[in-house]
Amino acid sequence: MHVLLAQGQADVQRLRGQVQEQVERQQRLRMEVATLEAPARVIATAKNELGMTAPPAVVSLTPATLPPRP
Amino acid sequence: MTVPTLTRRPSGGGRGRPVARTSARPVIPPDRAGRRSRRTHAGAPPLRWRLVTLVVVLGAAFSTIIVRLVEVQGVSADRFARFGRSQRIQVVELPALRGSILDRDGVELALSISRPTVWADPSQVTDPAGSARALSPLLRLDQSELRASLSDAAAFVYLARRVDDGTAAAVRALDLPGVHIMDEPTRVLPAGAVAGAVVGHVGVDHDGLSGIELQYDESLAGTPGEMVVERDPSGRDIPGSVRQSKRPDRGGDLRLTLDRDLQFITEQALAAQIVGAKAKSGVALVMDPRTGEILAMASVVAAKDQPPRPADYNKAVVDVYEPGSVMKLVTLAGALEEGAIRMSDVLSVADRITVAGTTFLDSEPHPVRQWTATDIMAQSSNAGAIAVAQRLGADGLDRYLRNFGLAGRTGLEFPGEATGIVPSLDDWSGTSLPTLAIGYGLAITPLHMLAAYNTVANGGVYVAPSLVAGDVGGAAQRRVVSPETASRVTAMLTEVVRAGTGTTAAVPGYTVAGKTGTARKAGADGRYEEGAYIASFAGFLPAEAPRLSAIVVLDEPQPYYGGLASGPVFSELATYAARRYQVPTRPAANLAPSSATRS
């Protein structure tokens, strides 16, 4: 009986540790996602690695007349 | 040793003197035998007394045992039971993970993860010098300091807190007696310093010290749990002995109204202009005027020989300044609302006006002009604004300064938030009215000023600023001026950007309403510093149906005019924000929304 109890206790502790590990892992993954999405990193990657450049100006196009209604 | 005995020779067998006779006992010489005889018969207590003494001693011993037994098992039973429990039962605190701070889209601005911390129990350390020598290169700590820590009298000493996983693994591999590793929560800012002054800081013990971290510390911190366990002398849990366990409650996540990407762009634009204009610092705010939500709130300071860096604190709500001409919005809105001036009224405006013996100048000399209220706003005429304020009167100006929310706090309740200082009407001097009418003689934050512009953008309704989603602040909404007045003031502000002092703030495709401000800067002695100005621009767009508002304030830029220094930053921010939030561009003249929907 005592052996079973001890074994159960060990299992509880092991599972508790696994839960904690997974919570920690989730937090680290969330941090990793947020870090990868950080604007500074995205801009640096776009410019330095992908060779992208920002447009010199934004042009808004406004139609002179409304299109005919269907 | 055998005991000799004395006897007498049998009668007739000798000369009557005693002789030694060999027996089982050795013979004792007469002198020694005499002494022995005296001890045995004269000094030794009788057997009866010996027995009495023995009984008394045994009785006393048993009495002591019984008294002690009664004390241990009866009188002090609880105390000893507690003592026993304290030796084998331990209460282990289970730290709660601090909640995350998110932007309006749920992106983490700050979150907590666990990092290994190296600690020691010096009582278990067998070789402090050797352990210090082994740990020093791994922990990058001074060997002598480590040795001192490992020789400490305390049972627990930190050696290195929150080290990286590799370092922890290396320390663990050393397997040094008395040196242990445990996890400690660490606050991380995944996007670096973006919005750092708003988010704030936590201390080494993970409690909020500034900013949102401090303001919402209670809800972010969560509730630590605890586990009561019985442990053997080796520190291992005794199976089946857990008495009770309370799980820690993770702190709640906090969603802000900030937009991380817009915040980043705002900080970048501000930093670039600080460099370009050689300003000391800058503040920029972007808001949704309809809801009062703050979308971006940036505070950047110049650094010597280095790029500008985020300020250590949230200057947008902590620092106060004299706003200057951006304040003319309040003066003219109040005058229009009270009927002190009409849009069609024309005033003769010189480049100076003298009130109570003090002459107030326009920024540039000019001949007397026939200007409407719109012209006064567009040209940012101090003399014209003062003339309008005189029509409004002291009571009226004071009332509108307060109704626009410039006195007191904004309701944001941000830690360290400054109170807007507007002098009491009773304390006004002869020059107070002209001074206040052009934005001097009071001290407010950039947030105060933008909230006033939001009021006009909202058709005359003041909406309290908010930084946390769902937090509507103290006084949520109140009407300050009528929709008609708000519309007229908006038209004036539109003219400022179209053809006045704020043309640099224009945004292609949109009608921008805004106002420049170029205020002299007061020094520490209260006098205005020569050549030191605070340049600002506040406004909103599209003027027809405002969706975004912003203010940009630069400290001592060159050139110092609000239109030249702050206007371009406003334009850059507004351009980005309008595209990001898909704000429709200005309809063509023949495509007015009303006619379009009717066709």
**Phi and psi at residue B299, in whole multiples of 5°?**
-130, 120
Give B541-584 pLDDT, tens digit per residue: 999 999 999 999 999 999 888 889 999 999 999 999 999 999 98
Nearest to B490 by CA among B454, B517, B465: B454
**B386 token code pair:** 């003062």
| Residue in B402, B415, B346, B355 with CA at minimum distance from that of residue B383 | B355
Count of CB atoms situated within 10 Å of the CB of B503: 15
Across all residues in chain A, what is the average pLDDT? 82
pLDDT of residue B215: 95
**Number of C-beta neighbours around residue B283 at 10 A:** 31
Count of CB atoms situated within 10 Å of the CB of B400: 23
Question: What is the DSSP secondary structure assignment for residue B73, as one 8-state letter?
Answer: I
Q: Contact at 8 Å (CB) between B495 and B377? A: yes
pTM for the complete prediction? Answer: 0.78
**Alpha helix positions (H), B156-289:** 165-174, 196-199, 211-215, 217-221, 260-276
How far from B483 is each of B333, B457, B458, B513, CA to CA, in Å? Answer: 11, 10, 8, 16
Distance from CA of A42 to the nearest CA of B (A): 11
The answer to whether A62 contacts B591, with C-beta atoms less than 8 Å apart, is yes
Q: How far is B150 from chain A (nearest CA, A)?
A: 29
Nearest CA in chain A to B103: A34
pLDDT confidence band for B9 (50 / 70 / 90): very low
Nearest chain A alpha carbon to B105? A34
Instruction: State how far the Cα of B546 lies from the Cα of A10, in Å rounded to an integer.
Output: 63
In this complex, is the C-beta atom of A47 within 8 Å of any C-beta atom belonging to chain B? no
Give yes or no for residue B6 having a pLDDT over 60.
Answer: no
Residue B144, H or E segment: helix B143-150
Is B325 one of the annotated active-site residues of the chain?
yes
Residue B380, token pair as written in the block = 């940012």
The whole-angstrom separation of Cα B316 and Cα A43 is: 26
Predicted confidence at residue B121, as pLDDT, reads 84
Task: Give the B-side interface with A, CB within 8 Å.
Answer: 97, 100, 107-108, 111-114, 183, 188, 190-192, 194, 237, 239-240, 242, 260-261, 264-265, 508-510, 575, 579, 585-588, 590-591, 596, 599
* Average pLDDT of the residues in B344-359: 94
User: What is the structure's pLDDT at B132?
Assistant: 93
Do residues B497 and B505 touch, judged by C-beta distance below 8 A?
yes
Q: Quickly state the pLDDT bin for B286 (edges 50, 70, 90).
A: very high
Which are the contacts of B15, defined by CB distance < 8 A and separation ≥ 6?
A: none
Can you give the length of chain B in residues?
599
Tell me, rounded to whole angstroms, the distance of Cα B396 from its chain centroid: 40
Contact B280, B259 (CB under 8 A): no
Could you give the residue ranges of the DSSP H alpha helices within B248-404? 260-276, 315-318, 328-337, 373-379, 382-403
pLDDT of residue B509: 87
Averaged pLDDT for residues A25-50:
90
Choice between B26 and B269, residue whose per-residue pLDDT is larger: B269
Q: What is the pLDDT of residue B3?
A: 42
CA distance B215 to chain A (A): 23
Lowest mean pLDDT among B121-125, B375-379, B503-507, B543-547: B121-125
Enter the tokens of residue A58: 């934004």
Residue among A41, A59, A60 with most chain B CBs within 10 A, to mutate = A60
> What is residue B81's three-state secondary structure?
helix
**Using CA atoms, how far apart are residues B538 and B552, in angstroms rounded to an integer?**
7
Whole-Å CA distances, B255 to A52, B264, B299, B373, B410: 32, 17, 20, 43, 20
Q: Is the pLDDT of residue B61 over 80?
A: yes
Asked if the model's pLDDT at residue B190 lies above 80, the reply is yes
Give how far B509 is from chain A: nearest CA, Å.
6
Q: Regarding predicted confidence, which is higher, B508 or B450?
A: B450
Residue B82: what pLDDT? 83
**CA angle in degrees (0–180, nearest 5) for B355-B356-B358:** 65
What would the pLDDT profile of B311-322 be if each residue is shown by its tens digit?
999 999 999 999
| pLDDT tens figures, B471-491 | 655 557 899 999 999 999 999
CA–CA distances in Å: residue B458 to residues B477, B480, B544, B590: 10, 10, 11, 26
Task: Provide mean pLDDT across the span B211-235.
Answer: 82
The average pLDDT across B276-293 equals 95
CB of B323 within 8 A of CB of B444? yes
Query: Distances from the Cα of B487 to the Cαs of B325, B455, B458, B512, in angstroms?
Result: 20, 11, 9, 13
Q: What is the reported pLDDT for B244?
A: 60
Strand order in B528-541's β-sheet? B306-310, B293-303, B281-288, B548-555, B528-541, B513-522
In this complex, do B108 and A31 lie within 8 Å of one another by their Cβ atoms?
yes
Would an 8 Å CB–CB cutoff place A39 in contact with chain B?
A: yes
- Is residue B529 within a helix (H) or strand (E), and if so which, with residue range? strand B528-541
- Average model confidence (pLDDT) across chain B: 86
Contact A57 B113 (CB under 8 A): no
- With 50 as the cut, is the pLDDT of residue B596 above it? no
Q: From B114, which residue of chain A is nearest by alpha-carbon distance?
A: A24
Residue of chain B whose alpha carbon sits nearest to that of A59 = B508
Q: Is the pLDDT reported for residue B28 higher than 60?
A: no
pLDDT average, residue stretch B515-520: 94
The single-letter DSSP state of residue B206 is S
Question: Three-state SS for B540?
Answer: strand
Give pLDDT tens digits for B360-410: 999 889 999 999 999 999 999 999 999 999 999 999 999 999 999 999 889
Give the pLDDT mean for B224-250. 68
The three-point CA angle B154-B156-B159 to 5° equals 115
Q: Name, in order, each residue with C-beta under 8 angstroms of A9's C-beta and a sequence gap of 6 or more.
A: B237, B239, B240, B242
A 10 A CB-CB count for A25 gives 11
Top-confidence range, B42-51, B60-69, B471-480: B60-69
Average pLDDT over residues B285-293: 95
Residue B188 has pLDDT above 50, yes or no: yes
**Comparison of pLDDT for B7 and B337, the residue scoring more:** B337
User: What does the pLDDT average to over B38-42?
Assistant: 51
Q: Which of B224, B478, B405, B447 is nearest to B314 (CA)?
A: B447
Name the more confident of B579 and B599.
B579
Q: Which of B6-15, B38-47, B391-400, B495-504 has the lowest mean pLDDT?
A: B6-15
The predicted structure's pLDDT at residue B545: 93
Listed residue (B304, B413, B240, B197) closest to A5, CA to CA: B240
Confidence class for position B597, pLDDT limits 50, 70, 90: very low
Specify the DSSP class assigned to residue B19. Answer: -
Q: What is the dihedral of CA B521, B523, B524, B527, to 10 degrees?
A: -110
pLDDT confidence of residue B490: 96
Main-chain dihedrals φ then ψ at residue B195, nearest 5 degrees = 60, 20
